[in-house]
A and B are shown apart, each in its own frame.
Chain A
Amino acid sequence: MNSRMNIRQLLLNNSTIVLFIVVFIIFGIWSPLFYSPENITNIIKQAAFTGIVAVGMTFVLLTAGIDLSVGSNMYLSVVVSGLLMRSTGIDVLPALIISLIVGTLFGAFNAFCIVRLKIIPFMTTLGTLIIGRGIGTALTESKQIDFPEKMNDFGQTLFLGIIPMPIVVFALVMLAGYVLLTRTQFGRQIYAIGNDPEAARKAGIDVDRVMALVYILCGFFAGLAGFVLVSQLGGRVDRSFGEGREFDAIAAAVLGGTSLFGGVGNVFGTFVGALLIQMVQTGLQFNLVNLYLQPMVKAVVIFLAIFFDSLREASQKRLKRRFIRPVSASTAGGD
């Protein structure tokens, strides 16, 4: 193998990071202020909730499943805690816990349909997507809810006086996701199931239990992400809150190298993916690009990422081709 092929392989294997760097440089050239600490902090902060959902989504995609309901889940869990906060005057922390409980229950319902009723994940979560938003809007009677002021304060709080709260939560989730996936039996079994569910069963893994936990966890993260987003939006939740976020989450995970067919992906990749999406968005806003053009640019970036990924896969397939006879013996005539 010559060095040019090696470089090509190296670039392909890290295509998202390469893309990330390229985009980062382009924005910097466009406007040097892009590199200011405030702006970079801002990007990470805004990427927080997408990133949190995307971590849950990564778990789900690793099992070759999908969760389309996370956007609705974010909405519903926030609505419930917001209404309770306003009617009973509970504090931020209990409200957060309620959000998490609702999100987890939402995920548990998905898990029940998928594992017990054997409805495929796509249909299950498509159904719960509609149900969740329906219940949420019914609870609010379609009105915007405003969280009490303390919610807003929570979003503006600086941890240790420097790091904004959403970034702290984001970091914790990344860490938790990373630890779960790489350091626990649960995490490793997720990879095994995504690689070959049949072999996983044969190896004695409780596949149903792992699958159920994955959807429950994804729901939990959705509830958390909803809460983080509210605190950033200044406590306002309208009907379209969280709508379409499932696609951002899937895109972030896929950009980070997670395969839709299971078994491949990691939290760090998802982190880069979520940052890349947010950086494109923020960068375009920063440079005052027409609001309407921004999603188009985002679409192009996502397309490039999945396109490079398919090139990588194709070249890997070629490398992994099954050999019957030693290549050297036949082509080089023995050694």
Chain B
Amino acid sequence: MAIVQDKLSPDSAFALTNKAKRSDRFSGGIGMLRRLLVSDYFVLYLTLLFFLVASIFYPTLSNPASITNQIQNFWPLLAVAIGQTFVLIIGGIDLSVIAVMGITSVAGALVMAENLDPAFFDKSPVWGSLMTEAGGVLAGNPLAVPAAVLTMLLIGTFIGWLNGVAITRFNLAPFMVTLVTSTFFAALALWLTQSRNISGIPEAYVTLGKGDIVSIYLGAKLTPDIARRDILPFITYPFMIAAGLAVVAQFLLSRTVFGRRMFSIGTNRKAAEVSGVPTQSVIIRVYMFCGFCAAMASVLYSGRLEIGQPSFPNNLLLDIIGAAVIGGTSLFGGKGSIRGTFFGVAFFVLLLNILNAMRLSPFIIDAVKGAFILVAALLDIIRTRVANQEQRV
């Protein structure tokens, strides 16, 4: 007993992820490569390598302003990818996250917008009730922003609940259910806003999307006033929110009964059921969490863009699933981690920035992005094979 305990650090003991055995059996170059391949940090190394090489050719990439800008793109994507990771771990899929972001973004604006242009919105079904010229329901109210955020999160969670219930109680395929909710709520968001973005978002809310808590200034102080654009956001609200969400998610996943049950369902639902795992309620909650995360991402996006936005680009869904898969999450369930998704999102954001820096057309960028998804999927197959070989010995 004692010997066993000494060998285990508490950290490595129970992270239910794709555990690599840190053995010394493999030596030499191939051994190194194999170890690297199965490492949890593989994607991180890849991202860093990628960044270094790209920085040589495109020095602008590594200047601080560019880095902070990249980081700003990172947080909302991370938030929504976390929820998707949860769903993928239990062997499901949620195609409705983009629609959830749209409808919650609109709902938030309907609560707090400070003025609405009748020329745009008077055809909306809620004009005169939820929408007036004076703005949303709680326009001007000091509680408008918290109420809006709360509404958004509740709606996101509710749509997740709908998905979960349809999937478990009626035994429907997650793909079809979330396709239906996605179509429905995307259309609802467009209907409510007549396809217009809602502006007039209160300042306090915008802060959530891009406000700094700690800023930094690099360089010599030559003038008494530093231009705003030279001040770089360092710790921002989106950072706090998304990182907080990531910490909570990682905690749920690796430290709680709930997380263990998720993995058991994703690995073998029948065995989980026999072992007394309340599979239905776990699945419903996972979809609720996914909806919650999408709503959170919506808070960050719409705060940053200062609008209530009914539709988000559909391509975003591919970024989300792609990031999760690059981070080692399996579409078959039972495998995945928040850390992996974190690296996966970082990789994706970096990739996009590099491609932008290369001044490629946005369309070539898309093509390359798709190719990277394929390469990532292929790498994952190879990694799994190598990891299995290590297990077998």
Contact = CB atoms under 8 A, between A and B. Distances in A.
Question: In the complex, is A directly touching B at CB under 8 Å?
Answer: yes
Contacts of A292: 187, 190-191, 194-195
Contact of A130 (B177, B180, B188, B366): B366
B191 A306 contact: no
Contacts of A293: 187, 191
A128 B369 CA distance: 10
A133 B171 contact: no
A248 to B, nearest CB: 10
Given A126-B321, A292-B194, A296-B191, A133 B331 contact: no
Contacts of B166: 303
Given A130-B315, A134-B369, A247 B179 contact: yes
B184 interface: yes
- The bracket for how many chain A residues form the interface is 35 or more
Given A134-B366, A134-B369, A310-B170, A296 B187 contact: yes
A296 B370 contact: no
A122 B371 contact: no
Contacts of A250: 175-176, 179
Interface in B335-386: 361-371, 373-374, 377-378, 381
B367 A135 contact: yes
B186 to A, nearest CB: 7
Contacts of A132: 370
Given A138-B364, A307-B172, A243 B314 contact: yes
Contacts of B187: 292-296, 299
Nearest to A135: B367
Contacts of B331: 120, 122-123
Contact of B363 (A138, A302, A306): A138
Given A129-B370, A131-B371, A134-B369, A299 B184 contact: yes
Interface string A273-291: 0000000000000000010
A247 B183 CA distance: 10
A260 B186 contact: no
A130 B176 contact: no
A296 B170 contact: no
Interface stretch (A15-23, A111-119, A228-236): A111-119
Contacts of A306: 172-173, 176-177, 180
A122 B186 CA distance: 23
Contacts of A141: 361
Given A295-B187, A296-B187, A299-B183, A123 B374 contact: yes
A129 B181 CA distance: 22
A123 B184 contact: no
A244 B314 contact: yes
B325 interface: yes
B179 A123 contact: no
A251 B171 CA distance: 17
A126 B191 contact: no
B368 A119 contact: no
Interface string B200-225: 00000000000000000000000000
B337 to A, nearest CB: 18
B318 interface: yes
Given A123-B331, A127-B377, A130-B315, A142 B371 contact: no
Interface string A287-324: 00010111110111011001100100110000000000
B322 interface: yes
Contacts of B180: 299, 302-303, 306
A130 B370 contact: yes
A313 B180 CA distance: 20
A295 B186 contact: yes
B97 to A, nearest CB: 15
A137 interface: yes
B197 to A, nearest CB: 15
Given A117-B378, A299-B181, A310-B171, 13 more contacts: A118-B381, A122-B331, A123-B325, A127-B373, A127-B374, A129-B318, A129-B370, A131-B374, A133-B363, A138-B363, A293-B187, A303-B177, A307-B172
5 contacts: A123-B331, A128-B370, A130-B369, A296-B184, A307-B172
* Among all A-B residue pairs, the 6 with the closest Cβ atoms: A134-B367, A134-B366, A130-B370, A292-B191, A131-B370, A137-B363
Interface of A: 66, 113, 117-120, 122-124, 126-138, 141-142, 243-244, 247, 250-251, 254, 260-261, 290, 292-296, 298-300, 302-303, 306-307, 310, 313-314
